[in-house]
Structure 1
Amino acid sequence: MADGLQSILRDVVFGMKDAVLGSTIIFTVDKEIAAKQEKRRKEYEESQKNSRRPPIKMKKEEEPRILQRVLQCCALNGGVFWLSIIVFNSMLIPLLHTLTHLLLGDSSSQNIVWSWMKPALSYTFSALWVIPVFLLSKIVSSFWFQDIADAAYKKSKGRPRLPSLSRLVADIMISILIQTLFLMQSLLVSLVPLSGVGQFLRLLHLCILNSLYAFEYTWFNQGWEVHKRLSFIESNWPYFVGFGLPLALITSLPSSFFVSGCLFSILFPLFIISGNEAHIPKNTCPYPVHIFSVVSTLANRIMKRSVVATSKQK
């Protein structure tokens, strides 16, 4: 029992270390990609010189752009979206409050006007700016996340092994469904009426979910199917709890859902790179936790019913 607990704690620490240290290569990964491209170019040119066939121009590869994409995520989510929220709450709202005070004085009229004016401004700002920009940033960031993951994977592991188009679509759909159901599961376990237990279980779920988000890019490029990805996490859950813990803790600090989303989009590219460079322990945990069993069963049933309903319509 003691050895098992020690093994679990060790894997948690290893996961945290890989999550933090793996992201440090962000400043060197583009140089490594550029060096490999230059090496391939020279080898190709040398082979063309020694060949008797007419020289064929080598197809130009895309320039390294991992750091660029990371900075774009920071600029969009931090420099535009998060900064606009700070400006509105810390500058515009106090300024308007001061103006109403100057115009109406310290009176009951001023209090009444401000009592409906502040919520109206907040709701209008959220409806016309916060929610649309938040959704837009999520969509744009998802494309940038994919670019970062693909570039990092090619740098360390070569070309991805992607399945057929039909399997690709099915994999993406079932994966999104499982992640959504798992997020709902995390909300349900947080309602456990025991002091601290609900919060701990929710944090545990978020750690694993963050790890799934980060590693899924690499596993998908390796051709792993959904059930294999989930089973691997369940068998090595201490490592993945540790890996997702830093991101879960940081994003849980803000009270605002939107600010938390900004932090996630800013930091998540680093965890994608960390997941690509991680060294997962080869020995599985002696106490596997089948934390995805319920959501996997529900997702499979939903998908089967959707397929049956679609076939009947045809």
Structure 2
Amino acid sequence: MDIKNISYALFKGFYDSIKGMLAVFILDKEIKERKLKRQSPTRTNSIRQKPFDGKDSTKKQSKDEDSKLMSRILQCAVFNGGVFLLSIVFFEYLFIPMWVKDTGEGSWSRTAIFLLFLYRLIWITPIFTLSKILNTIWFQDIADLAYRHSRGRPVYTKKWSLIGADCLFSIIIQLLFLLQAVAVSYIPIYVVGYILSFVQMCMLYSLYAFEYKWFNMGWEIHRRLSFIEANWPYFIGFGMPMTLITQFWDSWMVSGCVFSILFPFYIISGNEASPVISGELPLRFFAPTIFVSNCIFSCTIGSPQKPAKTQTAER
């Protein structure tokens, strides 16, 4: 085990994840400039051939596409931060404590708890569900636009049924791996449990960010997981900033809002990054979740494909 190589990969992953917060503005500018260059040679001909409808529709479509990347990022920030997060902060951290202070401690067990329950039932549950749907659409749009700019059209080499099975398998693995990361935090030896949970959360956040690019490149789920396990120093460093930020909050709702605000930048970071090939022994943290997921698939829709061999580089 080469400590120097591991340290470099950790630092490079950490740096690449932070770099995405600046890269998004450069990427949006490059997209606009490239579209303008494509339109400029044919502008005269388009005016002569289509003086009315053609010219107007082309300009309108171009303008919509140019602003799509930043608009999606702003939508994520406004909805998750300006609507969801602020409502949580106002009601649970300002309104309820002030209510308890004004009415006295005896009223807390009755009115305050009822209001909190009613608030979470009527407001938090619907808006949480809506945020999951909208975030899924917005994240995919951001990832597709960034991928098309840097690599061109996505590569789909399988049938849609296999693609759907791959997506379902990926969702199950991510959910089980999240439960696994939470479970190991309850190991009686606090330091060991915290480190293992922290490392696995870093790898999970890296999988979230890179999966959009790897999926568009045609990588299967087992190949994606093997690549993370084989080059774990880089991906632990890449997922470290997001893990530190989300674990700072006691409320999982607040952590989820912060994650949704920052994750678009992580998608850009993953799309632009070139992972360091460490060559260290793989960390088989995904092995338990893969085993359980294979059992679930075997008992429901049949046996999934066997895991691919560990990949040594992105192609």
Q: Are 1:63 and 2:57 counterparts?
A: no
Q: Which structure 2 residue ranges, 5 or more long, are not aligned?
A: 48-53, 304-315
Letter in 2 for 1:286: E
- Correspondence for 2:265: 270
Secondary structure of the residue aligned to 2:190 is coil
SS in structure 2 at match of 1:161: coil
TM-superposed deviation, 1:99: 5.2
**Structure 1 residues 112, 13: CA separation in 2 closer, same or farther (over 3 Å shift)?**
same
In structure 1, how many angstroms separate the alpha carbons of the residues matched to 2:114 and 2:139? Answer: 35
The CA deviation string for residues 142-163 of structure 1, in whole angstroms up to 9 with x for no partner, is 1100000001111111111124
Q: CA deviation at 1:185?
A: 1.2
Residue 274 of structure 2: which of 270, 274, 279 is its match?
279
CA distance in 2, matches of 1:113, 1:48: 72
- Equivalent of residue 95 in structure 2, options 74, 92, 112: 92
Identify the range of structure 1 (152-161 vs 208-217) with the bigger mean alpha-carbon deviation: 152-161
Give how far 1:89 is off: 2.6
1:237 aligned to which of 228, 232, 236:
232
C-alpha RMSD of matched pairs (Å): 2.3
| Aligned mate of 1:173, from 126, 143, 168 | 168
Check conservation: 1:78, 1:262, Cα contact below 8 A: yes
Instruction: Tell me the residue number matched to 1:222.
Output: 217
CA distance in 1 between partners of 2:98 and 2:182 (Å): 38
Query: What does 1:187-266 correspond to in 2, within 5 Å?
Result: 187-266=182-261
Contact 2:14 2:237 in 1 (8 A): yes
* CA deviation after TM superposition for structure 1 residue 96, in Å: 3.3
User: Cα distance, 1:30 vs. partner?
Assistant: 1.6
Partner of 1:114: 108
Deviations 1:60-101 (A, max 9, x none): 55512111111111111110011011111343224434653x
The CA deviation at 1:245 is 0.4
Match of 2:307 in 1: none
Separation (CA, whole Å) in 2 of partners of 1:161 and 1:44: 29
2:135 pairs with 1:137: no
The alpha carbon displacement at 1:42 in A equals: 3.4
Paired position in structure 2 for 1:17: 15
Q: 1:123 deviation in Å?
A: 1.4
Instruction: Report sequence identity in percent.
Output: 43
Cα 1:308–1:228, aligned 2, differ >3 Å: closer, same or farther? closer
CA contact (8 A) 1:215 1:275 kept: yes
Whether the 8 Å contact between 2:202 and 2:238 is mirrored in structure 1 is: yes
Which deviates the most, 285-294 or 252-261? 285-294
Task: Please state if 1:29 is matched with 2:31.
Answer: no
Question: Is the aligned partner of 1:80 residue 2:74?
Answer: no
Max radius of gyration: which structure? 1
Worse-matched range after superposition: 190-199 or 11-20: 190-199
Preserved CA contact (<8 Å) 2:6 2:278? no
Note the residue ranges of structure 1 that are not aligned, 5 or more in a row: 50-55, 101-109, 310-314
Match of 1:185 among 168, 177, 180: 180
Cα distance change of structure 1 residues 205 and 115 upon mapping to structure 2, 3 Å threshold: same
Q: Letter of the 2:248 partner, please give it.
A: L
C-alpha distance in structure 2 between counterparts of 1:183 and 1:31, whole Å: 36
Greater shift, 237-246 or 135-144, is seen at 135-144
Give the C-alpha shift of residue 5 in structure 1. Answer: 1.6
Structure 1 partner of 2:289: 295
- Quick one: which amino acid aligns to residue 284 of structure 2? H
Q: How many Å apart are 1:115 and its aligned residue?
A: 2.9
C-alpha deviation, 1:28, in angstroms: 2.3
Structure 1 residue identity aligned to 2:3: L
In structure 2, what is the Cα distance between the partners aligned to 1:174 and 1:215? 16
Cα 1:236/1:44, change in 2 over 3 Å: farther
- Three-state SS of the structure 2 residue aligned to 1:28 is helix
CA-CA distance at 1:180 after TM superposition: 1.0
Equivalent residue letter for 2:241: P
